[in-house]
Chains A and B, each alone.
Chain A
Amino acid sequence: MTASLVATPAPAVRRWRPRPGAIVGALMLGSVLLLTAIVPLLPGFDPMGQDLRATLLAPMEDPAHPLGTDALGRDLLSRIALASAVTLGMTVLIVIMNAVLGSVVGILAGYFGGRLETLITLLSNVTLAMPVVLLLIAICAVLRPSAGLTILVLGLTWWVGYARVTRNVAAALRRQDFVVSPLTQGADSVWVLARHIVPNVWPHTLIIAATDVATIVLITSSLEYLGLGVQPPVPSWGSMIYEGQRHLSGDPWLALLPGLAMLLAVGGVQFLSQQFTAETRGGMLRKGGMR
């Protein structure tokens, strides 16, 4: 390679080139989102309607049911589309609840310190040392299982990670000149929080939320698989896979297709969040080996 003699001016803005992982992730997630958006508009959309004369149709066997039907003759494509919308919707709600709750608690604890901070530290240490998933199973089973209960229980219990990180960030910011200076000049805490703390904390919240989406989907669908989430006849990924398990030897697509939708959605989110995290951390994750 010949070195150019004329120094090329550095581009004002580094051109943003999406990494391959980000493209793959966007395509995977996009395909599932597209499915949930388009299928309900199609004429044959009917996720609950049973047709006992057309049970266990294979994919492509009948043009009216492109992905086939389940043991009760319900259209699989419609059910997968609805299940994806249900599980993803629940997940988004749960993640937002936890992100908001955890960040508010964390920011307040980090900014004001004192007793609240001690309480948060204790609470997060205790939760970290608990078999949380097992407790969630017990809670969801003992109280009458429903989609609302899953959202409530998971939405109110999975925020300690957010609180820990935002507390540390807020506590570090609290000592910075640009926070101390307005306070000495009489600015009130509400203004400082809104102007200086929150804008610097929320990117951290976003990173945790991005990686949390996958975790929450996996937990909710595990609960659904155990019969502890969305109740029939409304379909969900977990319950569809559970029902399909019985037909694994004869009609494996009943379990495989909802699983594929889940793989595409969760995998898409994971690839995207990995790229996002790598991007914000300055490519730290791409370190070379020993050479």
Chain B
Amino acid sequence: MLLFIARRLALAVTTVLAVVTIAFVLGRATGEPGALLLPDNATQADVEALNSALGFDRPLVVQYLDTLVGLVTGDFGDSYRLRESALGLVLERVPATIELAFWAFVIGLLLAVAAAVTIQLTGSRALRAIVGWAGAIRQSVPDFFFALLLVLVFSVLLGALPSLGRTSYASLVLPVLTLATGQFVMYLRLLDAALSEQASQDYVRTAIAQGQRRSTVLFTRMLPNAILPVLGMAGLNLGGLLGGTVVVEVVFAWPGLGKLLTDAVSQRDFPIVQAGLVFVALAFVIVNTAVDVLVRRIDTRTATS
């Protein structure tokens, strides 16, 4: 178990380093920011002065090492435009993004458990087919288009829900619904496959033959076994959820990390992009590692090895 954790930690560090390196290379690929930040009539000397003030005249190796030190100390430099700490700007937006991702995950998972349990208890092929087809259709459109459909129905036609911004609990509904439906489809597929596999195991047949109620067997025996792989997958999928959140935040003008990052990218405000990418990678790696270790710990088949 200790060896497993050590290995996972090594992988986590490698991953974060890789993201930092990519972010660094991207930052240099945009060129030096001096010419970009100063007005068009600035002299060459002004541009060079600003570049050296921002540290762009140092050798690349030194700049890279400086970035690595910044990673440890949490200093990613100041935003070019806002002259504020890039990390501070990123952290300011994090709660809004976590709000979306958290509710999308919880609602998607709960709905998937409810649907999968209903399918198992009723054994209804029709229900499984209907849910399967609806899921395939949901997965055939990208989040931003599904979001527009929701806006069209609930904001334009019914006028019931706000379509922009983060003003009240009502403005949470449409973005969360967009993301949660995507999560729901994925978890339902996994859960249904896992539950069906459990259903054909001997221990289930034995329990039912002994006269236990089917719902008892399902909830106390099968579900805990089936949900493990789904949780592992959910951890892995966090990246997909965050990627989806970026686009959905743009659609709904949601003031989260994704909106901040896409704005920063189009304004070439690289410290923010760098801080944001590294923050997401860190969050992602921490959750992934935690889920991996947790699943391994809970799962009695692997806990001892």
The answer to whether B284 touches A131, judged by C-beta atoms less than 8 angstroms apart, is yes
Residues of A within 8 A of B240 (CB): 133
The answer to whether A137 touches B265, judged by C-beta atoms less than 8 angstroms apart, is yes
A192 to chain B, nearest CB (A): 33
Bound-state Cα–Cα, A132 to B214, Å: 42
Given A138-B26, A248-B152, A252-B152, A222 and B266 touching (CB < 8 A)? no
What 1/0 mask marks residues of chain A from 251 to 291 whose CB sits below 8 Å from any chain B CB? 01001100100110011001100100000000001011111
Please give the number of chain B residues whose Cβ is less than 8 angstroms from any Cβ of chain A in the complex. 64
Residues of A within 8 A of B242 (CB): 131, 133-134
The answer to whether B26 touches A129, judged by C-beta atoms less than 8 angstroms apart, is no
CB nearest to A217 among chain B residues: B142
- B262 CB–A CB distance under 8 Å: yes
What 1/0 mask marks residues of chain A from 115 to 158 whose CB sits below 8 Å from any chain B CB? 00000001001101111111101110111000000000000000
- B223 CB–A CB distance under 8 Å: no
Residues of B within 8 A of A274 (CB): 136
Choice from B22, B123, B246 contacting A289 with Cβ under 8 Å: B123
Residues of B within 8 A of A285 (CB): 193
The DSSP consensus for interface residues of chain A is helix
- What is the count of residue pairs linking A and B with beta-carbon distances less than 8 angstroms? 151
Residues of B within 8 A of A214 (CB): 139-140
The answer to whether B19 touches A135, judged by C-beta atoms less than 8 angstroms apart, is yes
The answer to whether B18 touches A130, judged by C-beta atoms less than 8 angstroms apart, is yes
Given A133-B246, A135-B22, A289 and B139 touching (CB < 8 A)? no
A46 to chain B, nearest CB (A): 26
Bound-state Cα–Cα, A244 to B250, Å: 15
B144 to chain A, nearest CB (A): 5
The answer to whether A267 touches B196, judged by C-beta atoms less than 8 angstroms apart, is no
The answer to whether A222 touches B144, judged by C-beta atoms less than 8 angstroms apart, is yes
Q: How large is the interface on A (under 10, 10 to 19, 20 to 34, 35 or more residues)?
A: 35 or more
Given A138-B273, A214-B139, A267-B137, A133 and B26 touching (CB < 8 A)? no
The answer to whether A290 touches B123, judged by C-beta atoms less than 8 angstroms apart, is yes
- A4 CB–B CB distance under 8 Å: no
- B243 CB–A CB distance under 8 Å: yes
B271 to chain A, nearest CB (A): 13
In B238-262, the 8 Å CB interface with A consists of: 239-240, 242-244, 246-247, 250-251, 261-262
- B231 CB–A CB distance under 8 Å: no
- B236 CB–A CB distance under 8 Å: yes
Choice from A128, A221, A263 contacting B137 with Cβ under 8 Å: A263
What 1/0 mask marks residues of chain B from 263 to 286 whose CB sits below 8 Å from any chain A CB? 001101000010001001100110
A138 to chain B, nearest CB (A): 6
The answer to whether B281 touches A290, judged by C-beta atoms less than 8 angstroms apart, is no
Interface core residue of A222, A266, A285 (most chain B CB under 10 Å): A222
CB nearest to A245 among chain B residues: B148
Residues of A within 8 A of B262 (CB): 137, 141, 226
Given A126-B14, A141-B265, A221-B142, A289 and B199 touching (CB < 8 A)? yes
Bound-state Cα–Cα, A49 to B143, Å: 30
- A241 CB–B CB distance under 8 Å: yes
CB nearest to B238 among chain A residues: A131
- B220 CB–A CB distance under 8 Å: no
The answer to whether B29 touches A142, judged by C-beta atoms less than 8 angstroms apart, is yes
CB nearest to B239 among chain A residues: A131
CB nearest to B151 among chain A residues: A248
Bound-state Cα–Cα, A265 to B140, Å: 8
CB nearest to B197 among chain A residues: A287
- A225 CB–B CB distance under 8 Å: yes
Please list the residues of chain A having a beta carbon within 8 angstroms of any beta carbon in chain B.
Answer: 122, 125-126, 128-135, 137-139, 141-143, 214, 218, 221-222, 225-227, 238, 241, 245, 248-249, 252, 255-256, 259, 262-263, 266-267, 270-271, 274, 285, 287-291
The answer to whether A226 touches B281, judged by C-beta atoms less than 8 angstroms apart, is no
Residues of A within 8 A of B261 (CB): 134, 137-138
Choice from B141, B199, B214 contacting A263 with Cβ under 8 Å: B141
- B288 CB–A CB distance under 8 Å: yes
Given A259-B148, A288-B196, A133 and B243 touching (CB < 8 A)? yes
Residues of A within 8 A of B27 (CB): 142
The answer to whether A134 touches B140, judged by C-beta atoms less than 8 angstroms apart, is no
Bound-state Cα–Cα, A221 to B247, Å: 11
- B11 CB–A CB distance under 8 Å: yes
The answer to whether A263 touches B284, judged by C-beta atoms less than 8 angstroms apart, is no
The answer to whether A270 touches B139, judged by C-beta atoms less than 8 angstroms apart, is yes
Choice from A128, A130, A142 contacting B265 with Cβ under 8 Å: A142
The answer to whether A134 touches B266, judged by C-beta atoms less than 8 angstroms apart, is no
In B114-143, the 8 Å CB interface with A consists of: 119-125, 128, 136-137, 139-143
What 1/0 mask marks residues of chain B from 1 to 33 whose CB sits below 8 Å from any chain A CB? 000000000011011001100110011011000
B258 to chain A, nearest CB (A): 8
CB nearest to A244 among chain B residues: B148
Bound-state Cα–Cα, A126 to B119, Å: 36
The answer to whether B22 touches A129, judged by C-beta atoms less than 8 angstroms apart, is no
Residues of A within 8 A of B106 (CB): none
The answer to whether B136 touches A267, judged by C-beta atoms less than 8 angstroms apart, is yes
- The 9 A-B residue pairs with the shortest CB-CB distance, nearest first, are A133-B243, A267-B140, A289-B123, A141-B265, A266-B140, A131-B239, A291-B123, A129-B15, A290-B199
